[in-house]
Amino acid sequence: MQPLYSNETGFIASIRKQNATNFCQIRHLPSGFKIDLPQLAVSLRLDGQGRWISFRNESGFYRRCLNGSVVLAHQETFLSTKAYEELLRNIHEVVHIIIRDERLDDQQRKTFQQCLEHDTAFYRQQSELYRSVYPEDVPILPPDRYRDLVVQPLIGCPNRACTFCAFYKDKPFRVLTEQQWQMHLSGIERLAGALPGDRDGVFIGSANAMALSQRRLVACLDSIEQKLGLLKRGIAAFSDPDYSVQRSQTQWQTLSEKGLVQLVVGLETGWGELRGKLGKAADLSKVYRAVKDYQSAGISVGLTVLAGVGEVENAEEHRAETCRWIEALNLGRSDKVYVSPLSENGHSSEFALREAERFQDDLSEHSEAKVIPYQMQRFHYYC
């Protein structure tokens, strides 16, 4: 990667001699600033403390992850250390252009100056803070919860038998001790101060928060409120009813009152025979009862559906059985169905992608729930 501006000649030299507001567009965001230089096909987003969040130039769109890596989004590739250093120089050069404008307000000028002071060592410290809080990377979130702050009172998955899973097979399932949980939550509290201010929800990881006992889960919800406050979008979590604690309707109501607003279940398919082959329970009765319990307590439901699994000749049956099963749930407008094409080694086949599109069309006709495309392999825990 070459620096954007290597000298003071030509177009850049003339731009720098002008007032920056003649070509630069600065927009205030709730969590910082968006800077656009249309004539250079450049855009930059900074948080309120001058840390870069995303950057676009003619080479592509770059996004920074909490773990310190940088993703070139359209190629889904990570930058090398050397390429990242070049990228950061490019970002600083853009800020050097706009900070010359005398008409910047005090808040803008302070933020842009902070950006220039944030070098590679600073961002390395940010990633080290993340890794001290999350010894294992956050593996996956539902697409509408990507901006959540993730807390992990337990790690891994109690099933670990799903044939398609790329996230939990090699991770032993364990529940944090009370001391570990409090240390983890204190670390998240520190980390939250180093994040953009638009994290307005909490997600309890990892694969099945409902495996916690009622006493422990209620205590976790109380701790989250005490440490992080009541965030606008509430608290969500993954749930696997086949490996969860059995709860009464009163207990589900308690969880709802404590801020739990959504539970996401890995359905994958409503065809029991196929579901058994995928390493999940072929008997869907526990899942059905659990969803009804969530609905009765006012907790919205999320269901993941996997497209492109099984034999090609059985695809129609997979779709029909799944749509029929979901239709029987009477999901509402606040509920969601996430349709994900099967991914193998980070790539989805044409068959899986085509089936995902068909699923989206079919499900929209059978349920009032919002149907959302979900390519799990593209998830990164971005800043």
Task: State pLDDT tens for residues 308-357.
Answer: 998 899 999 999 999 999 999 999 999 999 999 999 888 899 999 999 99
Structural tokens at position 202: 């909490």
> What mean pLDDT, rounded, does the chain reach?
91
> In this structure, how many other beta carbons lie within 10 angstroms of the beta carbon of residue 207?
26
**Residue type for position 103:** R
| DSSP secondary structure letter of residue 176 | P
Digit-coded pLDDT (tens) for 188-203? 988 877 676 678 899 9
Quickly tell me which residue has 């003339």 as its tokens: 14
> In this structure, how many other beta carbons lie within 10 angstroms of the beta carbon of residue 212?
19
Assign domain 134-378 to its CATH superfamily: Aldolase class I (3.20.20.70)
H, E, C per residue of 331-348:
CCCCCEEEEEECCECCEC
Structural tokens at position 3: 């620096």
Structural tokens at position 114: 């902070």
Per-residue model confidence (pLDDT) at position 170: 84
When pLDDT is cut at 50, 70 and 90, the band that residue 5 belongs to is very low
Per-residue model confidence (pLDDT) at position 9: 40
Structural tokens at position 316: 């129609």
pTM higher than 0.85: yes
d(CA 256, CA 64): 34
Pick the closest to residue 272 from 263, 281, 259 (CA basis): 281
Per-residue model confidence (pLDDT) at position 333: 96
Highest-confidence segment of 65-74, 157-166, 326-335: 326-335
Digit-coded pLDDT (tens) for 254-264? 999 999 999 99
Quickly tell me which residue has 């309707």 as its tokens: 249
Helix locations, the chain, DSSP H:
10-17, 81-98, 106-117, 120-133, 178-192, 214-228, 249-257, 272-277, 285-296, 315-327, 350-366
Per-residue model confidence (pLDDT) at position 377: 84
Digit-coded pLDDT (tens) for 209-254? 999 999 999 999 999 999 998 899 999 999 999 999 999 999 999 9
d(CA 332, CA 243): 25
Per-residue model confidence (pLDDT) at position 318: 97
Residue 11 has pLDDT above 60, yes or no: no
Q: Please, how many CA atoms are within 13 Å of residue 81, restricted to the half-sphere of its CB?
A: 3
Give SS3 for 84. Answer: helix
